[in-house]
Amino acid sequence: MPKVTEAYLDQRRQQIMNAAYRCFARKGFHQTTMRDIYAEAGLSAGAVYHYFSSKEEIIKASFIFDYHRGLPVLQQAAENPDPLDAIARLLDFFYAGLESAADLGADRVNIQGWAEALVNPQLLAPLHESLQAFLGELSKTVRRGQTMGVIDPALDPEAVGEVILSSYFGLYLQKAFRPDLDVGKYKTAVLSLFNGNFRVAT
């Protein structure tokens, strides 16, 4: 019997997660059943339950997946000699991910997942870990920019990081309700604010 590769297992897990996203986007988290998910995935019940025991576990896996997907970007930001460029590239990563998420309806799904995490510690833990990792790297990048004299030293690095993350979460929420929202224009406006180009010089 051929050996099942790790790549195959990852692909099958992602297939199930994508199917779940489509179901959650159509019916909502609580109205979707595991039966809906394995029918959408085109798999048997046993195949789906081999990877995930519940809907909550699928949402949890998506939080963990997003975190690990972002790790290389965090590493690149840490190694980028230009802190302002590092922040811009992190924003690129955030916003590009939002565009691809919208294709699956994952923007609406993740908002449901965030709400569920507020009352479910098992979901909150991986979400919190992911947020803290990104916030920590953003804060370090801001401190580096302050040391180099390109970011105002009077600003609190953690607060700046939280504002950057808030711009992403705010866009995520708007995109869920307004699918035609232009992410590129939003990003340009955010970068204008951070680069000090918002006001016309007088």
Q: Tens digits of per-residue pLDDT, 83-113? A: 989 988 888 887 877 766 555 576 777 788 8
Those residues of the chain that have pLDDT short of 70 are 1-3, 99-104, 106, 201-202
Residue 54 is given by DSSP the state S
The H helix count followed by the E strand count for the chain is: 9, 0
Q: Which two tokens stand for residue 116?
A: 């569920």
Q: What is the pLDDT of residue 6?
A: 83
Task: Tell me how far apart the alpha carbons of residues 83 and 164 are, in angstroms, rounded to a whole number.
Answer: 14
Q: What is the pLDDT of residue 114?
A: 85
51, 16 in Cβ contact below 8 A? yes
Q: Which long-range contacts (CB under 8 A, 24 or more apart) does 123-129 make?
A: 123/56, 123/59, 123/60, 123/63, 126/60, 126/63, 126/64, 126/67, 127/63, 129/67
Q: What is the pTM of this model?
A: 0.77
Q: What is the pLDDT of residue 147?
A: 95
64, 126 in Cβ contact below 8 A? yes
Q: What is the pLDDT of residue 90?
A: 84
Q: Which domains does the chain have, with CATH numbers?
A: 1-53 (1.10.10.60), 54-194 (1.10.357.10)
Task: Tell me how far apart the alpha carbons of residues 179 and 160 are, in angstroms, rounded to a whole number.
Answer: 27
40, 22 in Cβ contact below 8 A? yes
Q: What is the pLDDT of residue 3?
A: 67
